[in-house]
Structure 1
Amino acid sequence: MWELAMRSELRVLMMSLAIAGVAHAEALVGPGVGNADTLVSEGSKLFNKKQYAKAADNFLKATRANPANAQTYVQLARAEMLAKDLQRACYAYRVYLKSVPDSPDRKKASAESDQCERQVKAARKLPEDPTKGFVDSRAAFFTALDARQLLGAGSAAETLKSLVHGGFLGPELGEMAQKLGTAATAEAEAVHARALSGEKLPPETLRSARPLYQLAADVGATSSEAKGKMAFLDGLAELNDKSWKKAEAHFSEAAKSDPANREYVFYKGLALYQAGDKAHALKVLEADLKDDPRTVVLRASLSVSESPETGANELEKLLFSTRNPPEK
């Protein structure tokens, strides 16, 4: 009975192909970039040492780590202006002034912005304005997001990455990252839920979950459960390849990451059972799924093989509990 149940579970899993390994991508927005306060503090120290280019680099990272902090934009603008990166300085001033309609520093920043714009107009042989394509790229991002094209060429992720590398600034960057992270998480969660329920998924759908979870992390949408869910999907891939030990290790990681999800424990037991370690499989299931029908069936099955008398008693208990389940 147990073997039939296990084989039924495995047939569902065998429809999954191995999940492609995805290297951790560059953090674009959010805590993954760094601690915004620390970056600002380090930038301020460098600024005071007149190391303006290095200070600007720290301030720029701080705007990505926390796009909502408007004060960082004027700090960035001042560092870039003194570093003679005039076009980017003027852009940072404009972002600051747009973000802060009223503040004690606004009047001074406005005067500095005007001075920056005059220097740009007076300058000769400046490179092409790096902000020139931001409007079109922003529009392309939302078009891709609305079409649910989150990954790949021309996707929302690639467009946001291009904007970040191009120096796109402002609280809107955080809003865009949040929307992308929400969409990526939702798609990954849907794949996980369907896989956990035993639905037969196309291989490309199953493989899409890990990069989606990774994308969500790279834009600041952190999740305490994502690690366990990715490990679970990796375990399914190893089961598909009959790599029982690797599958068991992944399911162990998933169960450790999310102890409340008992199905992760069951799949760990499944991997052990398929590896031939039936006694260990029963031990694992009895520890966390003692009253689960699948545990009861395995216990009876192993008892029969080890001792006919003990097995008969276990089967009697199983049959009795089936016909006369305990009152809750």
Structure 2
Amino acid sequence: MRTGAWSWVLVVLGLWAGVVEAQPLVGPSVGNADLLMAEGSRLYNTRQYEEAAESFLKATRVRPEALGAYLGLARARFGANQLVESYLAYRAYMKAAPGSPERTKAEKELELCERKLKSARQMTVVEVRVSGHVDKKATFFSVLEQKRIVGEGSAAEVLRALVDAGYLGPDLGEMAGRLHTTVGETLGALHRRALGGQAPKPEEAASVRALYALAREVGAPLAEEASRAPFLEGMAALAAGQHARAQELLAEAAQAEPERSEYRRLRAEALYRAGDVAGALTEMEAHFPNDSRTAFLRAEAALGRSAREGAQELEALFFQRYFSPGR
């Protein structure tokens, strides 16, 4: 195998390792917000505070605009004596719910939490956490603007670090939404270029599955994944001379989206480049019987069988092309 092919394989394996280990970050893939809220309330009422906090935390990830989840999280964490985390959850709630009927009560609870933190000399920990969140948010928007979406130092990596660091707030949904939109735009541009004959570069093809996985992690799956992912990888394989792999991927794409005639035509091209003239002809005759390329394939296939059959096909092609009615 050529060095370039090996490097492509290594990139693919590296990205897939990240995809396999990754867990949903924000949005419907995390779970059902209503069920998580209900479970959190049930656990809180039975004084299972740590378990309740986990449910409320997931609810904030599923639906970052759900203000009740932050208040439930703050109270559950306070009950579990997780004072720093409780304070941050109260702060997220207070910032996002200026007109809430529970605000007055929540303010008193926040004050109590703050007094306990000061008594335990932990306010510095809070300040360091908040400062880290601010820095990570700034980095996220910076790398997203540069269209660094997946991989080391990417927007996906920074967003995951922000979530892992315990960041809370409705703007988490905005960040996830912008990342999801950018993923869709990037894949859409790759698809349009590939349809126009510009195959994805190896590194672009290697990132396709990771991009579709990221769309699920920060929102909802992209509907066209089943067809476009193998199509883009198939086009890259075709450009790299990996014709057998290309025809497999393009067949998968065509099966997933049969109305896309381009996928079938390109599969026939991959078969032809792999030396399977008969297979390419079968594909073209089944889906493009009147295409001029099908006629040339018939002639080539006939030449492969015998000179006489080839001559007959070439003669038919010649008269059809130059002496057909109306010419």
Q: Normalising to structure 2: TM-score of the pair?
A: 0.80
How do 1:63-102 and structure 2 match up within 5 A? 63-102=60-99
Counterpart in 1 of 2:227? Answer: 228
Asked if 1:215 corresponds to 2:207, the answer is no
**Corresponding residue for residue 107 of structure 2:** 110
Instruction: Tell which deviates more after alignment, 49-58 or 104-113.
Output: 104-113
Separation (CA, whole Å) in 2 of partners of 1:150 and 1:75: 33
The offset of 1:53, in angstroms, is 0.9
Change (3 A) 1:75 1:256: farther
Aligned positions of 1:21-60 closer than 5 A: 21=13, 22-23=15-16, 24=19, 25-60=22-57
Unaligned runs of at least 5 residues, structure 2: none
Kindly indicate whether the alpha-carbon contact (under 8 Å) linking 2:199 and 2:232 is maintained by their aligned counterparts in 1. no
CA–CA distance in structure 2, aligned partners of residues 107 and 169 of structure 1: 21
Work out the CA distance in 2 between the residues paired with 1:69 and 1:275. 55
Shift in Å at residue 160 of structure 1?
Answer: 1.2
Stretch deviating more after TM superposition (170-179 or 144-153): 144-153
TM-superposed CA distance for 1:125, in Å, is 5.6
Quote the residue 1:320 is aligned against.
320
Residue identity opposite 2:280 in structure 1: A
Give the match for residue 283 of structure 1.
282
Give a deviation string over 1:132-187, Cα, whole Å, max 9, x none: 31112212222222233333443322221111101111110010111122223222
RMSD: 3.2
- Provide, for residues 28-61 of structure 1, a one-character-per-residue CA deviation record: whole Å limited to 9, x for no partner: 2122222323333333333233221122112212
Equivalent residue number for residue 262 of structure 2: 263
Question: Which deviates more from structure 2 when the two are superposed, residues 131-140 or residues 37-46?
Answer: 37-46
Q: How many residues align?
A: 312
Return the letter of the residue paired with 1:29. V
Alignment partners' CA distance in 2, 1:322 and 1:39:
72
Task: Single out whichever of 298-307 and 152-161 deviates more from structure 2.
Answer: 298-307
Q: Percent identity?
A: 42
Partner Cα separation in structure 2 for residue 157 and residue 325 of structure 1: 60
Distance 1:319 1:41, change over 3 A: farther
**Unmatched segments (≥5 aa) in structure 1:** 1-13
Question: Residues of 2 paired with 1:82 and 1:216: CA distance?
Answer: 35
> SS of the residue aligned with 2:59?
helix
Q: CA deviation at 1:275?
A: 4.2
Task: Supply the distance in 1 between the matched residues of 2:52 and 2:189 (Cα, whole angstroms).
Answer: 43
TM-score calculated relative to the size of structure 1: 0.80
